[in-house]
Structure 1
């Protein structure tokens, strides 16, 4: 008989479980959760861990929207740095976006290059999105989409407007509908950067240091029109569709009607849209530039209401870093700066700070930032403290103060819209399959994932 029941036992004074927040004892065997019991349960293990009096045990968070940028633009980020930052923020699973790397993940060869770059270097588990671009989405050109699906990508990202990088083209309405029909045919998921290029072209061009001018260059109407196209296409083809990084609340009535009608539609938003308002962005502060943009405080309130009501399904980072020179920090020109917010490591603290102030609990944050991203992306064994799942955990002190210092984050480059912000909720320790993750692990223990 074995000397112990489990490899590790975790005694949590408070744990966020699928049925709510309560004390629990969790038994871990072979990297998986083997038992979840009440505090009085007798469990023996080679190692016992206990939460501190001010800590809560959460499932490892799942961030399904991360631009790692490797290979090809590794100086922007990279698998080693991105996954260490994820672990430091309580995130134990990320899904890498198919663009900003060279090659992009639009072919089986591109996926192989990604996996080779990541292998042996990742501190958390990593899955991959494929990309739908003009080259693989025209009539008779869908073989690469099917090949990527068969090799386990979690779905297919496309842009309805220019992506910002030449090697990842956007889809016009015709090719978008053709790609949706093909992806629906093999049961895939289509995830969409939804901004309408004709609306963007008609808007005033962004230039200079004034954030209001940049905001005017990406109007709400661009998201509204593009989301209408996504819904119409999903309704016509039956494809499962997911709206990426919703920033505009004007589209919420469209989304509500579509969901009520049974359209297979899910929606994400991001920490920066929930915790920062346009009115707070200083002139020339290009670290806040992203597309679609951070909008006003009233819009932010409506996004929170939609999240609370379940109309918006999840919160993920859209971590889209670059080198500091591309952010034009010296000139502060919003017109030419790279658009992307770097926030992978601080997403939990940012969201929890605002969520707690609005009366939400940790169970809500776990639903938005762990369970629903895992479900939408089709990631098995993640997102909940439940028997059979991977033993991925974040030990957090929800009332501990956190002051963000971009220079001390584990992202490759010290640029972040959260720099200097006073937040609440410290991640003290992260476990991946029951073992330390990130800098505490020494050897990277992450695995490459495929769609469930």
Structure 2
């Protein structure tokens, strides 16, 4: 039997399965989970056994919100560095956003450019979102047929001119185009008129930046999106929710049958406006990090299922674009790099609030896998799924040192923080690809993914 085909068993007293956490032995063959057995079950004859002791065996994380920026802005990030950081952080699948690369992923020709840039360079499995921009409604179905997982749009300026926002008429046209083939529209939801009317005071005060991105801008945009989704019978997903006051709108819409899902991000769950130092532009993101009371409400929504998943919104840039010399929040690029740190950051706060590793698996593996339609193969430790795992030492701590991060530009809002949860190892289809924060393989092992065909309803 070839080495890569040899059966192996990963054993732990803390295996997180869809039914909950239990002691178990997970059998892997050909890159797939073939069985989940009792902890003391004898390994199959000839199988290689790895005993993880009391470390937690999680399903590999799925991050559906990653800005790789490659090609075109690879100095911000790149497929090699982004996926290496993902692997080090326990992430085994990423879905790349369609903007900040040049060209953006708004046509099938541009998608092929993106795939060519990624081919042979990804350390984790990698898929792609398409983009919905003015004038490309006719490109949406071809992109869908070519395998993108859905379509991102903005309702206000995206930050890069080559990916313009949709106005209300264009947004309706995109949803009308997507609804017949059940395409998914994922939306940066902030209302442009309310943002334009908000006070703008350039400078280093975080309070001034926060005032320029009011919660009402998110709430109004989400209310409008829900109305359009209801009108067209379309699917929508709210990206990087930071405003907890929008949660009742989302809950009510779901009860009415509107197909709306929502994500939030590690920085909204672990960082608060009250602690952001003036001039610390590494904390800038849009929508912004809000106050502690708002954060508490986001955690409650995670617990009750109103928020479906937690993903990074990894949106890096070069250090100069963060305007660190002036500390001017208005001038700085908005984005927080957290691919390598998201699991530990979320666990650090989750454990304080009484949550368990099973909750992590639901929010950061199963939830995003379901969003992307990958839940048949990703996001669970169950027979028939890919043997993708993250091994977490939950009670161990480490202090974030930017120089140890594998992101191309290691500037991070988490610098100097002590986090709980050390990612001991990451496995992709049964192969260990990272160990203790460094790559464990010489060649990238990731595959390029396409949107799976939906399973017919019976």
| SS of corresponding position for 2:126 | strand
Contact 1:97 1:129 in 2 (8 A): yes
Which contiguous aligned blocks of 4+ residues in structure 1 show a shift greater than 3 angstroms? 1-6
Structure 2: state its 5+ residue gaps: 453-458
Question: Which range moved further: 273-282 or 249-258?
Answer: 249-258
CA distance in 2 between counterparts of 1:46 and 1:324 reads 48
Tell me how far 1:41 sits from its aligned partner: 2.0
Deviations, residues 235-269 of structure 1 (Å, cap 9, x unaligned): 00111100000000111111111011111010000
Find out whether 1:402 has 2:391 as its counterpart. Answer: no
CA distance in 2 between counterparts of 1:294 and 1:25 reads 41
Structure 1 residues 157-172: aligned runs within 5 Å: 157-172=152-167
- Taking structure 1 as the reference length, the TM-score comes to 0.97
Question: Which residue pairs with 1:93 in the alignment?
Answer: 93
Structure 1 residues 146-165: aligned runs within 5 Å: 146-165=141-160
Structure 1 residues 241-390: aligned runs within 5 Å: 241-379=236-374, 380-390=376-386
> Given the alignment, which residue of 414, 420, 423 partners 2:416?
420
Contact 1:218 1:292 in 2 (8 A): yes
Tell me how far 1:143 sits from its aligned partner: 2.5
CA distance in 2 between counterparts of 1:149 and 1:41 reads 44
Closer, same or farther: CA 51–195 of 1 in aligned 2, 3 Å? same
Tell me how far 1:46 sits from its aligned partner: 4.0
Structure 1: state its 5+ residue gaps: 137-141
CA distance in 1 between counterparts of 2:410 and 2:339 reads 12
Contact 1:397 1:426 in 2 (8 A): yes
| SS of corresponding position for 1:152 | coil
Question: Which residue pairs with 1:64 in the alignment?
Answer: 64
Contact 1:158 1:193 in 2 (8 A): yes
Deviations, residues 390-448 of structure 1 (Å, cap 9, x unaligned): 00011110000021111210000120011111110000100000002141011110000
CA distance in 1 between counterparts of 2:200 and 2:364 reads 34
Question: Which residue pairs with 2:132 in the alignment?
Answer: 132
Tell me how far 1:323 sits from its aligned partner: 0.2
Find out whether 1:180 has 2:181 as its counterpart. Answer: no
Question: Which range moved further: 248-257 or 188-197?
Answer: 248-257
Structure 1 residues 201-240: aligned runs within 5 Å: 201-240=196-235
CA distance in 2 between counterparts of 1:135 and 1:327 reads 32
Deviations, residues 3-53 of structure 1 (Å, cap 9, x unaligned): 999521111121111111111111111100011111232222442211033
- Taking structure 2 as the reference length, the TM-score comes to 0.95
Contact 2:140 2:178 in 1 (8 A): yes
CA distance in 1 between counterparts of 2:91 and 2:391 reads 11
Closer, same or farther: CA 2–324 of 1 in aligned 2, 3 Å? closer
Q: How many residues align?
A: 446
| SS of corresponding position for 2:392 | strand
Question: Which residue pairs with 2:29 in the alignment?
Answer: 29
| SS of corresponding position for 1:266 | strand
CA distance in 2 between counterparts of 1:404 and 1:4 reads 34
Contact 2:33 2:386 in 1 (8 A): yes
Tell me how far 1:175 sits from its aligned partner: 0.4
CA distance in 2 between counterparts of 1:390 and 1:396 reads 18
CA distance in 2 between counterparts of 1:186 and 1:356 reads 41
Tell me how far 1:204 sits from its aligned partner: 1.1
Question: Which residue pairs with 1:105 in the alignment?
Answer: 105
Contact 1:256 1:311 in 2 (8 A): yes
| SS of corresponding position for 2:426 | strand
Contact 2:271 2:289 in 1 (8 A): yes
Question: Which range moved further: 390-399 or 402-411?
Answer: 402-411
Contact 2:11 2:53 in 1 (8 A): no
CA distance in 1 between counterparts of 2:195 and 2:377 reads 40
